[in-house]
Amino acid sequence: MPKNMPNINELKKKSLWVRKETLKIYKITSDIRLASSLSPVEIFVALYYGKILKYNSKNTQWEERDRFIISKPHGAVSLYPILADLGFFDKKELKNVGQNGSILGGIPDLTVPGLETINGALGHGLGVACGIALGLKKKKSNSRVFVLSGDGELYEGAVWEAIMFASQHHLNNLILIVDNNKISMLDFCKNIIDITPLEEKFKVFKWKVKTVNGHNIEEVYKSLKELKAEKSNCPKVLIANTVKGKGVAELEKDVLCHIRVLKENEIINAIKRLNED
Amino acid sequence: MKTEQLKTMRDAFIEGVCQKMNKNRSIFFLSADFGAPALDKIRNNFKERFINVGIAEQNLINIAAGLALEGFTSYAYAIAPFITMRAYEQIRQNLSISSQIKPVNVNLIGVGAGLSYDLSGPSHHCLEDISIMRLLPNFMIFSPSDWKLAKHFVNFSINVKTPKYLRFDGRPLPPIYKKINNKILEKGFSELSKGKKVCLVSTGFMTHLALKVAKEIQNVGVIDIFLLKPVKENLLFEQLKKYEYLITLEEGFINNGGLDSLISKILRDHQSDIRVKNFGFNDKHIFEVGDRSYLHRLNKLDEGSIIKTIKGRIKN
């Protein structure tokens, strides 16, 4: 068992709690991307509660922090309860998401304490992260740059410009996590443009690749820990195989879950079912 | 004008940046596989801080933005139409939007404003940049008319921590300014020739043409506007209001948000009845083959057409 291994059961409970909180936010405003926010929950929980990320909620610009760039921020509403719980901002804000004057909008951006960048338009996060990683190396900093990207997002050409750049410049302080939920807005990715085999693609681009079940919190935690400590001189990617809408049956089975609007009773039932888990 | 004084804006500017890089370790110079004689020194002397990102303007902007978020001053260097238009969303999201919340000191150096790349055709002509870059909040737009202004802007580019677009002409041009100081630079414009009733208002390369016209016709004023954003509007109006007739000159599409729109807006805000005629390109791309002055003649943007307008429509 690795040193300082967090209690996996606690992380599982946290994941369940984050899903419920995200549904509660959805109850306040349905104008968020619920299904995309449910697939990366274990990734967020491992990074924050597993203490993979170095952060300081009271000093968000702390120089030694790890930088976390969320390149698919539509799917990061589930980060709101985590950031509130860890003291980045007041928990009361969670009841206010999307309301007039709230500090928390439908797509998290850099005005939210704890977020580094704005990424509502897809395909930019990895490139900006490369610049940050380069800057950190120049400063001889030990901080790492984590990036969360969607698999559908990999259709954007600029992502591949960054993928090539990262290996050319040996950005081994850069760790990309692909929330590989296999569904874009309108269809399964394989029906739009099949990007498999993804692992091989990253390998030929000279990245270190690891694949996990993105909902197995223990696997996600251990892989991130391993990639963070890994000493080779190449950038690293964790392909986290996930389920879009994870935890809500109606969404899990619907290929159009990105745009599916849940009815009030469906939300209440989903929370109830999660309570029974 | 002595030929040895001919110089490109990019060389003058890059030489200045190179000097700064000696002492200032927080400067990165990024290029999208685009060179310049003056750039060779940076490439050789600062191997760690010069990065050729390849023919990848989108990534050029993103890398520059990431470095800036870590507190570095970055320069992103490419051909003007490509750096602005290929990477517009990167510019919008990671520079314009981000810099409203955090300091982002990224200096986009676009070489080849207007018809600098005359023979390369419409893909390389850059007639939209003033309009589209003026649209972006938090941006500064620098459009110098000579290399001396460009050189003086180096300090400014380091000290003013906002994203900037530097639109440089691609050709070696003679100097216009004799002495430049921070006061002139901060004002953003300069009355190069005092006139009576008519004033030519120009930017970049067109200021050279304006000065030629002013030499031909007595009492024609010339105002060179080199900071297209932000503009000290009241100060500029004080200068403009001395005239009865303004002629705007730009190597860009007119009636679409360029220099002409900038002037009209100021006049409108001051409820001014000064008459204005806009010279530039109409709403079509230029496929005709020829050098810059030929293309100017075809599009009635040449010295003769401007003089004809002044003589025909305005009684001095």
Strand (E) or helix (H) holding A142: none
Residue B314 pLDDT greater than 70, yes or no: no
Burial A230-264 (b: 16+ CB within 10 A, else e): eeeebbbbbbbbbbbbbbbebbeebeebbeeebee
* CATH 2.60.40.1220 given to domain B188-313: no
User: Which has the closest alpha carbon to B129: B160, B86, B68, B90?
Assistant: B86
Residue B315 pLDDT greater than 70, yes or no: no
Q: Does the N-terminal peptide bond of residue B144 adopt cis geometry, omega within 30 degrees of 0?
A: no
User: Which has the closest alpha carbon to B306: B228, B236, B227, B202?
Assistant: B202
Q: Is A164 on the interface with B (CB under 8 A)?
A: yes
B257 CA to chain A: closest CA distance, Å?
A: 25
Distance, in Å, from the CA atom of B58 to the CA atom of B78, rounded to the nearest integer, reads 11
Alpha helices (H) along A101-144: 125-138
* 8 A C-beta contact, residue B255 and residue B278: yes
Per-residue pLDDT of B179-235, as tens digits, reads: 899 999 999 999 999 999 999 999 999 999 999 999 999 999 999 999 999 999 999
- What's the half-sphere exposure (Cβ side, CA atoms, 13 Å) at B5? 9
Structure confidence at residue A3 (pLDDT): 62
Average pLDDT on A246-275 reads: 94
Per-residue pLDDT of B90-149, as tens digits, reads: 999 999 999 999 999 999 999 999 999 999 999 999 999 999 999 999 999 999 999 999
First to last CA, chain A: 26
B38 CA to chain A: closest CA distance, Å?
A: 24
Q: Is B295 on the interface with A (CB under 8 A)?
A: no
Q: Is A96 helix (H, G, I), strand (E, B) or coil?
A: helix
Disruptive mutation site among A134, A147, A155, A171 for chain B (greatest number of B CBs within 10 Å): A134
Distance, in Å, from the CA atom of A133 to the CA atom of A54, rounded to the nearest integer, reads 15
∠ CA(A208), CA(A214), CA(A215), 5° rounding?
160
* 8 A C-beta contact, residue B76 and residue B60: yes
Residue among B67, B90, B94 minimizing CB distance to A135: B67
Average pLDDT on B48-54 reads: 97
Structure confidence at residue A277 (pLDDT): 78
Q: Kindly list the structural domains of chain A, giving each domain's residue range(s) and its CATH number in brackets, ordered by start.
A: 8-276 (3.40.50.970)
Average pLDDT on A223-240 reads: 97
B230 CA to chain A: closest CA distance, Å?
A: 24
Considering the domain B3-168 in this protein, what is its CATH number?
3.40.50.970
Instruction: Note whether B66 contacts A130, CB cutoff 8 Å.
Output: yes
Distance, in Å, from the CA atom of A155 to the CA atom of A187, rounded to the nearest integer, reads 14
pLDDT category, A4, cuts 50, 70, 90?
confident
Structure confidence at residue A5 (pLDDT): 84
Q: Where exactly are the structural domains of chain B? A: 3-168, 188-313
- Residues A174, A177, A183, A184: what is their CA dihedral angle, to the nearest 10 degrees? -30
Residue among B67, B92, B101 minimizing CB distance to A110: B101
Residue among B59, B97, B102 minimizing CB distance to A127: B59
B226 φ, ψ (degrees, to nearest 5): -110, -15
* 8 A C-beta contact, residue B223 and residue B240: yes
Residue A153 pLDDT greater than 80, yes or no: yes
Q: Is B102 on the interface with A (CB under 8 A)?
A: yes
Give percent of chain A with pLDDT exceeding 70: 99
Per-residue pLDDT of A169-218, as tens digits, reads: 999 999 999 999 999 999 999 999 999 999 999 999 999 999 999 999 99
Bridge partners (DSSP) listed for residue B29: B50, B75
Q: Is B66 on the interface with A (CB under 8 A)?
A: yes
B51 φ, ψ (degrees, to nearest 5): -130, 125
Q: Is A176 on the interface with B (CB under 8 A)?
A: no
* 8 A C-beta contact, residue B108 and residue B83: yes
Per-residue pLDDT of B234-288, as tens digits, reads: 999 999 999 999 999 999 999 999 999 999 999 999 999 999 999 999 999 999 9
A57 φ, ψ (degrees, to nearest 5): -65, -20
Burial B212-240 (b: 16+ CB within 10 A, else e): ebbeebeebbbbbbbbbbebeeeebbebb
Contact residues, chain A, for B66 at CB < 8 Å = 127-135
B3-168 and B188-313, same CATH topology = yes
Distance, in Å, from the CA atom of B231 to the CA atom of B234, rounded to the nearest integer, reads 9
∠ CA(A270), CA(A272), CA(A274), 5° rounding?
70
Q: Is B31 helix (H, G, I), strand (E, B) or coil?
A: strand
Residue B316 pLDDT greater than 50, yes or no: no
Give percent of chain B with pLDDT exceeding 70: 97
Mean pLDDT estimate for chain A:
96
A33 CA to chain B: closest CA distance, Å?
A: 20
Cα nearest neighbour of B92 on chain A: A121
